[in-house]
Amino acid sequence: MDCHTNCDIRLCGSLCCRNCAVLTEEEVSELISKAKEEYALELDPKRYFREAQGEHGIYYAVKMIKGQCIFLNREKRCRVYKCRPLLCELYPVIDVNAVDERCPGIRNSRFPEELLATLKKRYANEIDERIKLEQEFRFI
């Protein structure tokens, strides 16, 4: 079960998709491959991602259009939902010990503490160590 099971995007207009997911080169390759397999989508990296420089390396940020993820459709639904980046899957967890307090599900206690603890643990175990170390990214 992920957080989107408890989510009603009518409350926030896909607030989770207003965060700019930053991925490693390997994660981008995996997303491109899975999107092709799952949705028959051909994702051109230059169209869907921007290079981002961090203190510990170069990464790839999902492009945003008018403040929203490029993968959202007109109905504010994710076009790559089944293979979305891990950072998206773990939302509203945004760091090992932090959640996005703007999320209506957090404010309305829709996410049980047990679920949030599981998502935080997954964040700690599954997010790339380099990305966890970064404090900020500069687009290049």
Each domain of the chain, given as residue ranges in start order, spans: 3-139
pLDDT, tens digit (0-9, with 9 covering 90-100), for 2-58:
445 556 677 777 878 888 899 999 999 999 999 999 999 999 999 999 999 999 999
Residue 38 has a pLDDT of 97
Percent of the residues in the chain that have a pLDDT greater than 70, as a whole number? 94
The pTM assigned to this predicted structure is: 0.87
Strand order across the beta sheet in which 138-139 lies: 22-23, 57-62, 49-54, 138-139
For residue 127, which of 88, 83, 92 has the smallest C-alpha distance? Answer: 88
What DSSP element (H or E) covers 57?
A: strand 57-62
Mean pLDDT of 66-78: 92
